[in-house]
Structure 1
Amino acid sequence: MSADLTDSTNRLGGSDVCAPAAVVRIAPPLASRERGAARPRRRRRVPHWLGVAPLLVFAAVVFGVPTAAMVFGAFTTPATAPDGVHVTGANLSASVRGAYLTALIGSVKLSAVTALIATVCALPIAYAVVTSRFRIVREAVLTASGVLANFGGVALAFAFVATLGNAGVVTGKFDLTDHGWSLYSFTGLSVVYLYFLIPLMVLILTPSLEGLRKQWREAARNNGANAVRYWWHVALPILTPALLGGFVLLFGSAFAAYATAAAMVGSSVPLVTMQIADALSGNVLVDQGNVALALSLDMVLVAGLVTAVHLPLQRRSARWLD
């Protein structure tokens, strides 16, 4: 018994106890070498802006180069001028006088009127689409709006001429000419523009109307507000930035439209796009290409001014509809 205890004590105090100590002395160097060998190399971080570099290059080529050429031409004389190419402000001065000014005012008037009417007409249509219980109605209206919003140009002009022109089917059946109707006028052109502006506005307003929460209507009803007061004090203030944003987009679409008006009314309705085309082709006066560039610069300035008004309102609307 005593011998067994002595042997056990010798084993514990001898090799069995010292062996773990030796392992402890060897383990740290091995572990550190393993950690050093397994440490990954640092990778160089790629700048985030490289991901959008192709888009920036594309925008610079497609938008920047034409814009620079337009600005340069608007402030210089043509190469065929007696004094050659030199800086001048005569082009901009000519673009806001006479027939050019009349055309610019006509385009602004047509765009503002049609955009306003389209905004007012599209709001109840979009609201009916959002609140409809039938999914097929919603999908059908939105699909049709997407098609009609992109339907324009010569095809749209031909369709209206065949329908509401002087010899159109509807005009002859209802004797609209005897009642003072004329498709080739400011009113007729406005009707044609509304054909694609109203569907476009429906597509714009549908997401904003979906952002109106049911709790807001319920809270207004619990406080004694009827439907009129709810729309006047709650819904419309929230939707106003979206409505103005849609109005700006419609204004720009109508302001820049060319093919439909050119194919239908020609020069009977003064529009700045028609004046630009005539100046570039030399139909009225020769060497008016730089004046046409000045008119284009006027259009860019008008569009930029309207957009600058819209941006802060859009940020305010996003806080409510998020």
Structure 2
Amino acid sequence: MNTAPTPVPSSTAAEQLGGGAGAPRTAPSSPHAAKAARRRSRLRPAGGPWLATLPLLVFFAISFGLPAVAIVIGAFTLSPDAPTGAGTFTTSNMTASVQGAYWTALLGSIKLSALTALIGTVVGLPLAQAVVTSRFRMMREAVLSASGVLANFGGVPLAFAFVATLGNAGELTKTFKLTQHGWSLYTFTGLSVVYLYFLIPLMIITITPALEGLRVQWREAANNNGATNWQYWRHVALPILLPSLLGGYVMLFGSAFAAYATAAAMVGASVPLIPLHIADALSGNVLVGQGNVALALSLDMIVVAALVMAVYLPLQRRSARWLA
């Protein structure tokens, strides 16, 4: 008995049915979904993420870009009261900024910043480690909160607090008779102690995230291989933390290098520092008509700060790869 052959659907019918057996089945697109997609594409800004950062870029250009340009122009321009007149290009301001008392002040600021940043890094690391490994969560949060407050506590209030405590007539100075042992708050050493008051807390809050990134498995692996606690820190932890430590040191250096109000209120001209000389040149406290020299000194500080950031950013990226 012959059976009738099964009719094979035409290509048009197969397309309507979703294709043959081997063809991928795709859901038919809805006209409403297509319209919604086109509407979203029209609403999406053409600039993408750059448009969202535009307000920040404008703020940065106004707050930092324009003052920086004004400093650069003024640093290479003669003062208005110069005999040749204003607006003349010159390098005499930059030359004067690296000579005599100005050069001494620049070296003094670098020396003070480097020393206090080093002490802050060495002291802040074990303190931060004690905070991270503490079993008392409340104490840990209290220390981190206090560090955040103390790291931003400076200026005239900080100077007054130390003058009332460790000045020539301070309470601790009179109680322990520190002046008889050669102590003086209004010296390089005394100013270093004051700077450490906000640099050590700054180091604690800076290095704590890096310490929290150290994995417990690394210590366990070192202990299983017979390493002591010192060997673990020497060969495992410190090499990993080295970029973060150097980055923290650079940050502390920049913070101490730019500090002005505390030193101005406490030591005045007894300790030569570049921010104090900039203020004197701008106000004409020592010599009249040195405003453009002050701008040259400011440009010197910008160059130092740029070098500091050039070291800091690569270290942060390297540290982030290890501790991610």
Matched residue, 1:91 = 93
Correspondences of 1:53-132 after superposition (within 5 Å):
53-84=54-85, 85-132=87-134
Correspondences of 1:72-221 after superposition (within 5 Å):
72-84=73-85, 85-221=87-223
Contact 2:132 2:208 in 1 (8 A): yes
Matched residue, 1:265 = 267
Q: 2:310 aligns with which of 301, 308, 311?
A: 308
Contact 2:93 2:292 in 1 (8 A): yes
Kindly state the Cα deviation for residue 140 of structure 1 after the two structures are TM-superposed.
1.1
SS in 2 for 1:183: coil
SS in 2 for 1:141: helix
Q: Greater CA deviation, 131-140 or 38-47?
A: 38-47
Kindly state the Cα deviation for residue 79 of structure 1 after the two structures are TM-superposed.
2.0
Aligned length: 292
Matched residue, 2:243 = 241
What one-letter code is carried by the residue in structure 2 that aligns with 1:262?
A: A
What one-letter code is carried by the residue in structure 1 that aligns with 2:81?
A: T
Q: Deviations over 1:137-177 (max 9, x none)?
A: 10111111111111111101001001100011100111100
> 2 CA distance for matches of 1:82 and 1:193?
42
Contact 2:120 2:200 in 1 (8 A): yes
Q: Deviations over 1:282-306 (max 9, x none)?
A: 0111110000000011011111112
Q: 1:284 aligns with which of 269, 283, 286?
A: 286
> 1 CA distance for matches of 2:30 and 2:193?
77
Which structure's residues are more often helix, by fraction? 1
Q: Deviations over 1:251-271 (max 9, x none)?
A: 111000000000000000000
> 2 CA distance for matches of 1:223 and 1:276?
57
- Give the 3 Å change call, closer, same or farther, for CA 225–269 of structure 1 in structure 2: same
Contact 2:129 2:208 in 1 (8 A): yes
SS in 2 for 1:127: helix
Q: Deviations over 1:19-49 (max 9, x none)?
A: xxxxx9xx99xxxxx9668741453341111
Identity score, percent: 71
- Give the 3 Å change call, closer, same or farther, for CA 38–268 of structure 1 in structure 2: closer
Q: Name the TM-score, length of structure 2 as normaliser.
A: 0.87
> 2 CA distance for matches of 1:311 and 1:140?
30
> 1 CA distance for matches of 2:171 and 2:235?
46
RMSD of aligned residue pairs (Cα, Å): 1.6
SS in 1 for 2:286: coil
Contact 2:251 2:312 in 1 (8 A): no
Q: Deviations over 1:42-98 (max 9, x none)?
A: 533411111111111111101100000000000111222221221111100000000
> 2 CA distance for matches of 1:120 and 1:37?
65
Contact 2:250 2:311 in 1 (8 A): no
> 1 CA distance for matches of 2:318 and 2:34?
50
What one-letter code is carried by the residue in structure 1 that aligns with 2:237?
A: A
Kindly state the Cα deviation for residue 315 of structure 1 after the two structures are TM-superposed.
1.7
> 1 CA distance for matches of 2:116 and 2:32?
72
